[in-house]
């Protein structure tokens, strides 16, 4: 008969009980240890993980009250709340046993017992405790995630002056209920900032709803944001709340707000002014209490001047503006971001931890990053997957060849030979996505010569 993979500890000052129980239980369980002195419990638990402890309630110093048993029960659960404790009493005192259950014991057993009763009690208790452990583990994970989420800036990586300025603004505005407009290029992390605002706000325990307005068609705008009544249109088979109702008491993040047409801007403005929504197909107004955070990569002020964005809506959404810097303006944050993404993707793809060669980091810092952090993240992920080495070289990164216009101007006007050679080498390397062999071939030099020039010009 196969033994159950469980670790049992028996604490009783009666040596005969310990011997009999151990001889019998060893036939059924892989580990059965005994001790006649409860004072050894802390040491025993420190040296071994037990699934179940059979604990006598009455020891020689206190033969009837059960107080020693309660003391050690509490001590055990204090040290490890996942251990199942079965209390043993020789006097059939049900009241003591019930009190023990109330204080955290999983089960109880009366002396004298027969072996079948002992085994059945242990099996039942272990089964109950498995469920208890699963719940405990789940709660521990949830607590960890909540604690991580409670750190407002845990997902914001950066120590550059532009990012420190952003964090200062976020800290000031988050504790208010002011509407926020986040401006920045694609890939700069606008939603990350919006979530940081929410986590640092008084609404942090409520819901955060993110809406990509650029992905919602004009025909679905009202039903998605404001909800609908059953029968409002062909597929409306039941009442449904919209995003604003779902975000009630919490934060709603409207991304790509610059994509809204003028008619949709009017509908949104009405909701923001009245703090009420009307579901499609209904006339009933539903009050909503939301913190509004909007974001866009479009030039809203220019759009207002051109009559493409309502000025009154602009005033409504931007009580405070947060301007996110592009990655090229926070180059000193690139090593931190790269290390973060390397750690993320090496774990995700179960690979040994990779690192950058010094020349690789220099190249990443010199790249223009038109896609900002999102482009960097994708570049690191691809390099982790494709590289066969644990040290990532420049040619492990496929980077876009788009360069700043200012750079092109320097190329056409600079007559310094070294500066021209440096610029030419840089452009050819980018053209071939960091492939040194192809770049050297196009330049008409050997790989070794190209590497020397890369070192010389710190490319």
**pLDDT (tens digit, 9 = 90+) per residue, 117-161?**
999 999 999 988 887 777 766 665 555 444 444 444 556 899 999
CATH number where 405 lies:
1.10.8.60
Asked if 229 and 345 sit in the same domain, the reply is no
Residue 244: inside a domain: yes
Establish if 150 belongs to a structural domain: no
Domain boundary among 145, 169, 190: 145
Residues 346 and 297 in one domain: no
| Same domain flag for 141 and 185 | no
- Residue with the two structure tokens 């009017």: 266
CATH (domain of 288): 3.40.50.300
What pLDDT sits at residue 446? 79
Are 140 and 202 members of one domain? no
Domain boundary pick from 145, 179, 194: 145
Can you tell me the distance from the alpha carbon of 396 to that of 387, in angstroms, rounded to the nearest whole number? 6
164-173, 324-333, 400-409, 423-432, range with the lowest pLDDT: 400-409
pLDDT band of residue 91 (cuts 50, 70, 90) is: low
Cβ–Cβ < 8 Å for 59, 68: yes
Region of 124 on the Ramachandran plot (φ > 0 left; ψ -120 to 50 alpha; else beta): alpha
231 located within any domain: yes
Using the predicted structure, report yes or no on whether residue 224 has a pLDDT greater than 90. Answer: yes
334 and 298 both lie in a single domain: no
Higher pLDDT, 194 or 426: 194
Same domain, 31 and 53: yes
**207 and 190 share a domain?**
yes
What is the per-residue pLDDT for 138? 63
Residue-level pLDDT at 94: 75
DSSP for 308-367?
SS-HHHHHHH-SEEEEPPPGGG-GGGHHHHHHHHHHHHHHHTT-PPPEE-HHHHHHHHHS
pLDDT, tens digit, 9 for 90 and up, residues 367-403: 999 999 999 999 999 999 999 899 999 999 988 654 4
Give me the pLDDT at residue 411, please.
40
- Number of structural domains (the chain) is 3
DSSP states of 364-391 as a string? HHHS--TTHHHHHHHHHHHHHHH-SSSE
pLDDT at 29: 95
Residue 410: predicted pLDDT: 38
Mean pLDDT for 168-186 is 95
Position 408 scores a pLDDT of 42
Helix axes 161-174, 190-199, angle to 10 degrees: 40
The three-class DSSP label of residue 5 is strand
Same domain, 199 and 245: yes
* Residue 434 reports pLDDT greater than 50: yes
**pLDDT > 60? residue 457:** yes
Q: Return mean pLDDT, the chain.
A: 87
What is residue 84's predicted lDDT score, i.e. its pLDDT? 93
Give domain status of residue 46, yes or no. yes
Same-domain check for residues 62 and 182: no
The verdict on 319 and 339 lying in the same domain is no
Calculated CA dihedral for residues 95, 97, 103, 104, nearest 10 degrees: -150
More confident residue, 412 or 429: 429
Residues 179 and 307 in one domain: yes
Domain assignment present for residue 395? The answer is yes
Q: Which of 250-254, 392-396, 426-430 has the lowest mean pLDDT?
A: 426-430
Based on the domain organization, do 307 and 347 belong to the same domain? no
**137: in domain:** yes
Q: Is residue 156 part of a domain?
A: no
Which residues contact residue 317 at a Cβ distance below 8 angstroms, ignoring those fewer than 6 apart? 179, 181, 257, 272, 292, 294
With both helix axes pointing from N to C terminus, report the angle between 417-431 and 405-413 in degrees, rounded to the nearest 10. Answer: 140
Quick one: pLDDT at residue 140? 59
Of 59-73, 95-109, 166-180, 194-208, where does mean pLDDT reach its minimum? 59-73
Domain interval for residue 257 = 161-325
* Local structure of 293: helix, strand or coil: strand
Q: Tell me, what's the pLDDT at 142? A: 53
Burial 257-289 (b: 16+ CB within 10 A, else e): bbebeeebbebbbebbeeeebbbbbbeeebebe
Q: Is residue 86 part of a domain?
A: yes
CATH code of the domain covering residue 85: 3.40.50.2300
Give the end of a domain, one of 91, 121, 145. Answer: 145
What pLDDT, in 10s, does the model give residues 266-308? Answer: 999 999 999 999 999 999 999 999 999 999 999 999 999 999 9
**For strand 285-287 and strand 276-278, is the pairing parallel, antiparallel, or unpaired?**
antiparallel
Asked if the model's pLDDT at residue 458 lies above 90, the reply is: no
């Amino acid at each position: 008969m196969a033994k159950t993979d469980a670790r049992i500890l028996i604490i009783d000052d009666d040596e005969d009980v310990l011997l009999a129980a151990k001889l019998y239980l060893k036939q059924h369980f892989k580990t059965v240890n005994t001790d006649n002195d409860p004072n050894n419990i802390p040491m025993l638990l420190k040296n071994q993980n037990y699934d179940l402890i059979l604990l006598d309630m009455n020891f020689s110093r206190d033969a009837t009250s059960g107080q020693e048993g309660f003391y050690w029960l509490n001590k055990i659960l204090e040290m490890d709340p996942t251990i199942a404790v079965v209390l043993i009493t020789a006097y059939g005192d049900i009241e003591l046993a019930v009190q023990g259950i109330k204080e955290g014991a999983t089960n109880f057993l009366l002396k004298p017992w027969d072996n079948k009763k002992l085994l059945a009690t242990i099996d039942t208790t272990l089964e109950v405790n498995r469920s208890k452990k699963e719940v405990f583990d789940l709660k521990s994970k949830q607590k960890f995630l909540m604690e991580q989420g409670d750190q407002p800036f845990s997902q914001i990586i950066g120590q550059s002056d532009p990012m420190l300025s952003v964090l200062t603004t976020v800290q000031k505005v988050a504790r208010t209920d002011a509407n926020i407009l986040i401006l920045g290029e694609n890939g700069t992390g606008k939603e990350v900032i919006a979530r940081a605002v929410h986590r640092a706000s008084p609404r942090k325990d409520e819901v955060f709803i993110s809406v990509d307005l650029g992905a919602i068609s004009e025909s679905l705008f009202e039903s998605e944001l404001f909800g609908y009544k059953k029968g409002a249109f062909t597929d409306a088979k039941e009442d449904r709340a919209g995003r604003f109702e779902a975000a009630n008491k919490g934060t709603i993040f409207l991304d790509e707000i610059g994509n809204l047409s003028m008619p949709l801007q009017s509908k949104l403005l009405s909701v923001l002014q009245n703090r009420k929504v009307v579901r499609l197909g209904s006339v009933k107004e539903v009050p909503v209490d939301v913190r509004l955070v909007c974001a866009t990569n479009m030039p809203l002020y220019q759009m207002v001047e051109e009559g493409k964005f309502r000025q009154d809506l602009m005033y409504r959404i931007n009580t405070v503006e947060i301007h996110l810097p592009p990655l090229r303006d926070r180059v000193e944050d690139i090593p931190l971001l790269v290390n973060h993404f390397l750690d993320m993707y090496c774990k995700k793809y179960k690979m040994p931890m990779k690192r950058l060669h010094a020349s690789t980091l220099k190249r990443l810092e010199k790249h223009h990053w038109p896609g900002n952090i999102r482009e960097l993240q994708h570049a690191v992920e691809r390099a982790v997957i494709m590289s066969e080495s644990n040290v990532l070289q420049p040619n492990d990164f496929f980077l876009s060849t788009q360069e700043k216009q200012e750079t092109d101007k320097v190329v056409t006007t600079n007559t310094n030979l070294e500066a021209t050679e440096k610029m030419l080498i840089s452009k050819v390397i980018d053209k071939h996505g960091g492939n040194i062999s192809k770049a050297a071939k196009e330049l008409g030099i050997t790989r070794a010569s190209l590497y020397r020039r890369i070192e010389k010009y710190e490319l």
